[in-house]
């Protein structure tokens, strides 16, 4: 009897884009060209009405095979864009990919392998396991980097203690999971608190993430980092208090 090859696993890659003109073309070109044996990619680009020309760049990819472009009328935050992407995702595996070049696409194989092999359903790409305690090293804003690194560990300890897990990087962009992980869940966060909502709800649903080391090149606020050091930590604390106990 002739052996038949297994069909490739479809991975939906959700790419939120807002004011990333310096990097978006390079990132999208790399994603369109990305090939990985055993996988095929559905690229979902969610553009949030940028003011720097990013939308015009994104429109150039509309109509390409396996590329879906979603245009938002106004910027509502990364979480809002990712939620729009989730509604369009058709893959067996879903992953989130920023358009800022901080992460390395060469890590896809390591991140996807344990899910495709059904060894794990939920994977986090940890930036800490290779780089010690500090993942952000802004040469032009060293005090900002120190504050963010200290805040990272403070909030990580809060998450770990609350959920009974031990993670080094719960807030990584690389959250990769099987579609069934989010079945029956409703998401509502619009900003970076979506990372908290997604993690908390998946862990509470019974999915314990495994961390895989990834490469990371941090960019500073001057280079375009969008997290607010005042506003966003408040939303994170609210998300923890709300979603840790709210019925799923």
Mark 36-57 as b/e (b = at least 16 C-beta within 10 Å).
Answer: beebebbbbbbbbebeeebbeb
Distance (Å, whole) CA 15 – CA 31: 10
Name every residue whose Cβ is closer than 8 Å to that of residue 143 and which is 6 or more positions away in sequence. Answer: none
Q: Are 67 and 61 in contact (CB under 8 A)?
A: yes
Which CATH number belongs to the domain containing residue 106 in this structure? Answer: 3.90.550.10
DSSP state at residue 47? E
Establish if 3 belongs to a structural domain: no
Give the model's pLDDT for residue 153: 77
Give the Å distances, CA to CA, from 233 to 58, 141, 229: 30, 19, 7
Establish if 21 belongs to a structural domain: yes
Mark 105-130 as b/e (b = at least 16 C-beta within 10 Å).
Answer: bebbeebbbbbbeeebbbbbbbbbee
Give the model's pLDDT for residue 134: 45
Establish if 137 belongs to a structural domain: yes
Establish if 212 belongs to a structural domain: yes
Question: H/E element holding 41?
Answer: strand 39-47
Establish if 53 belongs to a structural domain: yes
DSSP state at residue 109? H
**Block means of pLDDT (10 residues each) for the chain, length 248 residues?**
71 98 97 97 98 98 96 97 98 96 94 96 84 52 61 85 93 95 97 95 97 80 62 89 93
Give the model's pLDDT for residue 229: 67
Model-level pTM? 0.89
Beta bridge partners of 15: 45
Number of domains making up the chain: 1
Give the model's pLDDT for residue 148: 65
Range of the domain at 227: 9-243
């Amino acid at each position: 009897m002739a052996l038949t090859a297994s069909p490739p696993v479809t991975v939906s890659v959700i790419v939120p884009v807002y004011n990333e003109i310096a990097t978006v073309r390079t990132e999208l070109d790399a994603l369109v060209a990305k090939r990985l044996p055993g996988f095929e990619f559905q690229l979902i680009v969610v553009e949030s009405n940028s003011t720097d020309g990013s939308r015009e760049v994104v429109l150039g990819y509309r109509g390409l095979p396996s590329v879906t472009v979603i245009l938002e009328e106004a910027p509502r935050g990364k979480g809002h864009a990712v939620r729009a992407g989730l509604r369009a995702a058709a893959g067996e595996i879903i992953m989130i990919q920023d358009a800022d070049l901080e992460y390395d696409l060469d890590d896809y194989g390591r991140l996807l392998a344990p899910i495709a092999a059904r060894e794990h359903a939920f994977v986090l790409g940890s930036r800490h396991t290779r780089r010690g305690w500090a993942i952000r090293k802004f040469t032009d804003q060293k005090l900002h980097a120190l504050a963010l690194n200290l805040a990272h560990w403070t909030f990580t300890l809060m998450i770990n203690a609350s959920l009974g897990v031990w993670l080094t990087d719960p807030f990584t962009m690389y959250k990769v999971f099987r579609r069934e992980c989010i079945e029956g869940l409703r998401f509502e966060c619009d900003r970076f608190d979506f990372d908290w909502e997604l993690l908390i709800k998946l862990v509470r649903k019974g999915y314990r993430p495994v961390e895989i080391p990834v490469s990371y090149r941090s960019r500073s606020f001057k280079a375009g980092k969008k997290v607010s050091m005042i506003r966003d930590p408040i939303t994170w604390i609210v998300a923890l208090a709300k979603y840790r106990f709210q019925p799923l």
